[in-house]
Structure 1
Amino acid sequence: MPKLKTRKAAAKRFRATGTGKIARRKAFKSHLLEHKSANKKRDMSQMALVNECDVPNVRGMLPYL
């Protein structure tokens, strides 16, 4: 069976947790931060888990994750 290629864009955006789940960054933290509250910005700094319905797509992009 041939080796599978990793989608490099996805490799930069997702990583595996210790239990094998897939973690991602939250959106809306890159710019226009003046009007956002400190609580909202702090919450967006945390990692989030990929939704279970999206996990098969991410696993397909990252076969060796």
Structure 2
Amino acid sequence: MPKLKTHSGAKKRFNLTKSGKVKRAQTKKRHLLNGHGKTTKLKRSLRGATYADKTNEPAIKRMIPYK
């Protein structure tokens, strides 16, 4: 069977944990972080990573088969 191609956008955005969960960055308007009505608390909390929803996990794992 031939090798699968990795989706280049997905490999930059997602990581797999040892337990098989999909780790991702938080979104919620990451651009325009100066001013624009965002509190310091919100901007600080957006730094941390979170996990992708379990309904999206199979699709993401298909895009990054060798990670």
> TM-score, normalising length from structure 2?
0.86
Number of residue equivalences:
65
Deviation at 1:33?
Answer: 3.6
Identical positions, percent = 34
- 1:29–1:45 contact (8 Å) kept in structure 2: no
Among candidates 36, 52, 55, match of residue 54 of structure 2: 52
Distance, in Å, in 1 between the alignment partners of 2:16 and 2:39 is: 29
- 1:24 alignment partner in structure 2: 24
Cα 1:42/1:32, change in 2 over 3 Å? closer
CA deviation string 1:6-38 (max 9, x = no partner): 000110000122322111111112215411001
Unaligned runs of 5+ residues in structure 2 are: none
> TM-score, normalising length from structure 1?
0.88
Among candidates 41, 44, 48, match of residue 43 of structure 2: 41
SS of 1:31's partner is: coil
Distance, in Å, in 2 between the alignment partners of 1:57 and 1:33 is: 34
